[in-house]
A and B are shown apart, each in its own frame.
Chain A
Amino acid sequence: MVILVLNCGSSSIKYQVIDMESASSKLLAKGLVERIGLAEGDLTHKPVGKEPFELHRPIPDHTTGIELVMEALTHPVHGVIRSLDEVKAVGHRVAHGGEFFPQSCLVNDDTKEKIRSLCQIAPLHNPASLEGIRAIDQVLPGVPQVTVFDTSFHQTIPAVNYMFALPYEYYEKYRVRKYGFHGTSHKFVAREGAKLAGLDFDRSKIITCHIGNGGSVTAVLNGKSYDTSMGFSPLDGLVMGTRCGQVDASAITFIGDKEGMSFAELDTLMNKKSGVLGLTGISSDMRDIDKAYNEGNPRAILARDMYYGRIKKFIGQYAAEMGGVDLIVFTGGVGENSCEMRESVCSGLEFMGVKFDRNANAGACWV
């Protein structure tokens, strides 16, 4: 059964086509549509075993983007399926499922309405997912769609860990609380990590570190999410590429007041201008920061030390919350490729039973 997986951003569509019934869930193709709604857009299509294909033209909306993806997938030269009929289902990554979706869900009118109602607390993410669902309704009518939420895995977090110490009425009125994100990834790597480490997943204490452009750490207790570092939005927790992570909220209100910023401007400040980019003025990409670090740039050294240090802080915190830890898993673009990060984060944790193998770590690095 061939499934199309979509991850829609406000001006992008990331896709993969997977044959679920082949021997090992075979990837057939993947690609990226970018700059939807801008003067000129791009489609980059990578069929497995064939030459990649690129297209540059205006792509006014997500429906047009999906149509172009379908054309690429069924193309005689760079296609991977013979007709659209072969796509039996579409799975969508949706950032925010709120408290409505503790699990993945078949899409119906009720699902769409709930996702739409969540646009209020996820204005940067959910509207794009709805665009993707509507586009598939048009381009692949009748094909079942499933929504898989970044937040679902974290719906098992207990109130003591998800509530903020704010007046209770804001939880009641607006459902302001910690939600957590990257849930699909944390769940996957916790389970795979347990297999790799020979642990009984349902009776274990695992800390998963998904460190990519965004990053978060999760405490997985007996197979369920128990706490996580992102919060009401993906802003909280770790120092990231452009996000500040954990910060005293009063520093934000002070800056906003002093600089005469609107709430929208403050939001942009915290989400797009902060993190390692904000600290260094160089880049949001850790490879650029590594380069500057190695050149002795003091702000790159500070930013990288903060970035690594904060991951270690969450490991200590979650070990204390769970009464110990059996397994620490690293994943994500930086987690899978940065030897320095993993070594730094795991150093000094011998007091809680961590013994890092530098040889095993070396070579599992940036290519």
Chain B
Amino acid sequence: MLGLTGISSDMRDIDKAYNEGNPRAILARDMYYGRIKKFIGQYAAEMGGVDLIVFTGGVGENSCEMRESVCSGLEFMGVKFDRNANAGARGVDKILSAADSKVKIAVVATNEELVIATDTYNLVK
């Protein structure tokens, strides 16, 4: 993001520039979102389909725009996104797919520290 825009590596700064119509921010954000979608398509083909798409991480847990953009256009493989469920979903664990979506979509807050503590506990107890 930084290299493409010259602005910042932080998506929030890119979102701001995007909303101001900055062409390089628009290109960079479109590439950022687009590439996530490409990997979803690729991995669905590798696995012979997909049952659940999970978003996590700083941007995954907080950017409604990113999740909506990435999940758009995937109806052909059974994805039905729920824009209402997605709106305002920040820092929570939630299902974002429509009730009748073949593919479930979820946002889950990550917790690597808990996993580390658990592994540590299991190895030392």
Contacts and interface: CB of A to CB of B under 8 A. Distances in A.
Interface of A: 159-161, 163, 165-168, 309, 312-325, 348-353
Interface stretch (B41-49, B54-62, B109-117): B41-49
B24 A168 contact: yes
A320 B31 contact: no
A168 B6 contact: yes
B88 interface: no
A351 B75 contact: no
Contacts of A309: 46
Contacts of A317: 38-39, 41-42, 45
A107 to B, nearest CB: 35
A312 B46 contact: yes
27 contacts: A165-B3, A165-B4, A166-B3, A167-B4, A168-B3, A168-B5, A168-B6, A309-B46, A313-B46, A314-B42, A315-B45, A316-B41, A317-B38, A317-B41, A317-B45, A318-B41, A319-B41, A320-B42, A320-B73, A321-B38, A321-B41, A323-B73, A323-B74, A323-B76, A324-B76, A350-B48, A352-B77
Contact of B34 (A319, A321, A352): A321
Nearest to A171: B4
Given A316-B41, A317-B38, A320-B74, A163 B48 contact: no
B2 to A, nearest CB: 8
Contacts of A166: 3-4
Scoring A163, A168, A349, A351 by chain B CB atoms within 10 A of each residue's CB, the highest score goes to A351
A313 B45 contact: yes
B46 A160 contact: no
A316 B119 CA distance: 35
B44 A160 contact: no
Contacts of B1: 165
Scoring A166, A316, A352 by chain B CB atoms within 10 A of each residue's CB, the highest score goes to A316
Given A316-B41, A319-B77, A320-B41, 20 more contacts: A160-B31, A161-B34, A165-B1, A168-B5, A309-B46, A313-B42, A315-B45, A317-B42, A318-B41, A319-B76, A320-B37, A320-B73, A321-B37, A322-B73, A323-B73, A324-B75, A348-B47, A350-B49, A351-B44, A351-B77
A163 B27 contact: yes
Nearest to B32: A165
Contact of A160 (B30, B42, B50, B74): B30
A163 B76 contact: no
Nearest to B37: A320
Contacts of B5: 168
A320 B48 contact: no
B40 interface: yes
Contacts of A312: 45-46
B65 to A, nearest CB: 15
Contacts of B46: 309, 312-313, 316
A320 B30 contact: no
Given A159-B27, A160-B34, A320 B44 contact: yes
A349 B45 contact: yes
Given A160-B34, A165-B31, A351 B41 contact: no
A163 B31 contact: yes
A317 B37 CA distance: 8
A167 B2 CA distance: 8
B85 to A, nearest CB: 21
A351 B75 CA distance: 11
A165 B9 CA distance: 12
Contacts of B3: 165-168
Interface in B41-96: 41-50, 73-78
B97 to A, nearest CB: 16
B75 A323 contact: yes
Contacts of A160: 27, 30-31, 34
A351 B78 contact: yes
Contacts of A319: 41, 45, 76-77
A114 B76 CA distance: 43
B8 to A, nearest CB: 14
Interface string B1-21: 101111000000000000000
A89 to B, nearest CB: 41
Nearest to A315: B45
Contacts of B78: 351
Nearest to B50: A351
Nearest to A321: B38
Instruction: List the 3 closest A-B pairs by CB distance, nearest first.
Output: A316-B45, A320-B41, A351-B49
